[in-house]
């Protein structure tokens, strides 16, 4: 049959390589027939489920490559922010789907899993090199990872996958690229205006007002001293943001990862997010937090599912199963610094006003009264 005479469904099947795709599910428990036993029915679900996951990971990596390509230069084209936000939003939706799909796998009962688990041998979801690559591209560093069965996480990967992992680790992650981009944010320092000086003054005024209010409350010496100490601790908490040396010390102690300038800009964007020029940067930071949060939700849901299926048994790849997965929930977070910024927000009433010229510069030019007719 010539290409022209092929039926439409033949063209559809060929375009999607469905013959290959739909013939890639081989239940190892089929071998049980040789011993006169029935193969495991739910092994098919297990295989398909993880194949679908790997396809989603492939799509996420495809989106990540494009996003990182747009952030690779020292100056990011403003017109690239729209596509980046769209692609990050797509990744968020895919990860939400990934989390929800666990419900399908949980229709398999523990006994069904045990019936074919021995056929997995040492195969484990931990060995998904695509998922490890995704973590690296997002910004998870080797030194931040938990050891897997006392070994490096890529030790048992094949040579090609290990080379891919090492190449990604030697390149800038999206975290590094976004940090560099944030550190170049305009308006944080502009002429005689410095956001940090303005915000520091507002923070200290807020604490001074709290202290003055306490003095009117008729507290005894002990009560006043307790409240005063709390206020001073609050002031000190902000010092890593105001003082570059204090920030460097906290980076060395592992309390911050993002650069001092990057943190300044991220907080600036969070506070003044309603300014037109900051709409997309704020949306982008929110999506990065969404991704980190969804990965944490997936790890938690995965851990609970493993506990439900295996109890306290070791994972098929040699991990401690549920216990290991629960540890990764906190240890493998990536964008903690963005989440931590909420610690340094102050009430809107105490927020420093932007200078009028800065606000005008952050608006859309077609709203300018000086725009030519």
* Cα(148)–Cα(317) distance, integer angstroms: 9
Torsion of CA 17, 22, 27, 33, to 10 degrees: -120
Least confident of 64-78, 184-198, 284-298, 317-331: 317-331
Mean pLDDT of 10-35: 88
Mean pLDDT of 3-16: 78
Mean pLDDT of 54-81: 95
pLDDT digits (tens, 9 = 90+) for 168-221: 999 999 999 999 999 999 999 988 899 999 999 999 999 899 899 989 988 889
Examine residue 8 and state whether it is found in any structural domain, yes or no.
no
Q: Say if residue 42's pLDDT is above 70.
A: yes
Residue 146 structural domain:
39-364
Burial of 8-37, coded b for 16+ CB within 10 Å and e otherwise, reads eeeeeeeeeeeeeeeeeeebbbeebeeeee
Residue 357: closest CA among 346, 341, 370:
370
What are 158's two structure tokens? 């094949």
**pLDDT computed for residue 237 by the predictor:** 82
* Cα(26)–Cα(44) distance, integer angstroms: 8
Q: Say if residue 4's pLDDT is above 70.
A: no
Examine residue 373 and state whether it is found in any structural domain, yes or no.
no
**pLDDT computed for residue 373 by the predictor:** 42
**pLDDT computed for residue 371 by the predictor:** 45
Mean pLDDT of 362-366: 78
What percent of the chain clears pLDDT 90, i.e. is strictly above it? 60
Of 8-17, 22-31, 249-258, 289-298, give the range with the top mean pLDDT. 289-298
Examine residue 343 and state whether it is found in any structural domain, yes or no.
yes
**Distance (Å) of CA 234 to CA 210, 240, 245, 343:** 11, 12, 18, 10
Examine residue 33 and state whether it is found in any structural domain, yes or no.
no
* Cα(52)–Cα(102) distance, integer angstroms: 12
**pLDDT computed for residue 53 by the predictor:** 95
**pLDDT computed for residue 320 by the predictor:** 59
Q: Is the Cβ–Cβ distance between 351 and 271 less than 8 Å?
A: yes
* Cα(71)–Cα(75) distance, integer angstroms: 8
Q: Is the Cβ–Cβ distance between 110 and 124 less than 8 Å?
A: no
Q: Say if residue 59's pLDDT is above 70.
A: yes
How many domains is the chain built from? 1
pLDDT digits (tens, 9 = 90+) for 246-292: 999 989 988 899 999 999 999 999 999 999 999 999 999 999 999 99
Mean pLDDT of 293-304: 93
- pTM comes to 0.88
Number of Cβ atoms within 10 Å of the Cβ of 325: 23
Sign of the C-alpha dihedral, residues 278, 284, 290, 296?
A: negative
The pLDDT confidence band at residue 7, using thresholds 50, 70 and 90, is confident
pLDDT digits (tens, 9 = 90+) for 104-149: 999 998 888 888 887 776 556 667 899 999 999 999 999 998 877 6
**Distance (Å) of CA 147 to CA 65, 139, 154, 310, 340:** 27, 17, 10, 21, 26
Least confident of 1-15, 78-92, 125-139, 256-270: 1-15
Mean pLDDT of 351-370: 81
Say how many CA atoms lie within 13 Å of 87 toward its Cβ: 17
CATH number at residue 279: 1.20.58.480
Q: Is the Cβ–Cβ distance between 29 and 40 less than 8 Å?
A: yes
Residue 351: closest CA among 208, 244, 199:
199
> Residue with structure tokens 């990965």?
295
Examine residue 353 and state whether it is found in any structural domain, yes or no.
yes
Mean pLDDT of the chain: 88
Examine residue 10 and state whether it is found in any structural domain, yes or no.
no
More confident residue, 312 or 297: 297
The pLDDT confidence band at residue 313, using thresholds 50, 70 and 90, is low
Q: How far apart are the first and last CA of the chain?
A: 65
- 310-315: long-range contacts, CB 8 A cutoff, minimum separation 24: 310/110, 310/113, 311/110, 315/124, 315/126
**pLDDT computed for residue 61 by the predictor:** 98
Examine residue 300 and state whether it is found in any structural domain, yes or no.
yes
Examine residue 4 and state whether it is found in any structural domain, yes or no.
no
């Amino acid at each position: 049959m010539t290409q022209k005479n092929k039926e439409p469904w033949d063209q559809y099947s060929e375009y999607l390589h469905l013959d290959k795709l739909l013939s890639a599910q081989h239940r190892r428990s089929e071998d049980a027939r040789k011993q006169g036993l029935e193969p495991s029915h739910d092994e098919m679900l297990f295989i398909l489920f993880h194949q679908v996951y790997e396809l989603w990971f492939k799509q996420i990596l495809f989106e990540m490559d494009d996003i990182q390509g747009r952030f690779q230069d020292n100056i990011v084209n403003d017109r690239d922010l729209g596509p980046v936000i769209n692609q990050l939003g797509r990744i968020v939706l895919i990860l939400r789907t990934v989390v929800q799909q666990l419900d399908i796998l949980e229709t398999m009962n523990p006994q069904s899993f045990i019936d074919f688990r021995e056929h997995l041998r040492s195969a484990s979801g931990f060995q998904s090199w695509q998922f490890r690559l995704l973590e690296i591209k997002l910004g998870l560093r080797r030194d931040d990872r938990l050891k897997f069965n006392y070994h490096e996480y890529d030790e048992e990967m094949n040579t090609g996958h290990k080379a891919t992992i090492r190449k990604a680790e030697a390149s800038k992650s999206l975290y590094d690229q976004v940090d560099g981009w944030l550190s170049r944010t305009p308006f944080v320092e502009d002429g005689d205006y410095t956001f940090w000086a303005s915000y520091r003054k507002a923070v200290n005024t807020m604490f001074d007002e709290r202290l003055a209010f306490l003095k009117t409350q008729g507290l005894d010496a002990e009560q006043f001293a307790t409240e005063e100490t709390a206020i001073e601790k609050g002031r000190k908490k902000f010092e890593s943001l105001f003082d570059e040396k204090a920030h460097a010390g906290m980076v060395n102690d592992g309390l911050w990862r993002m650069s001092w300038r990057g943190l300044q800009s991220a907080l600036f964007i969070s506070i003044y997010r309603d300014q037109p020029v900051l709409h997309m940067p704020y949306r982008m930071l929110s999506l990065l937090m969404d991704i980190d949060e969804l990965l944490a939700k997936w790890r938690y849901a995965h851990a609970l599912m493993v506990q439900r299926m295996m109890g306290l048994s070791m994972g098929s790849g040699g991990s401690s199963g549920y216990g290991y997965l629960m540890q990764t929930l906190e240890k493998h977070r990536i964008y903690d610094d963005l989440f931590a910024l909420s610690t340094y927000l102050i009430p809107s009433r105490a927020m420093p006003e932007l200078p009028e010229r800065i606000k005008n510069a952050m608006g859309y030019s077609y709203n300018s009264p000086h725009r030519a007719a």
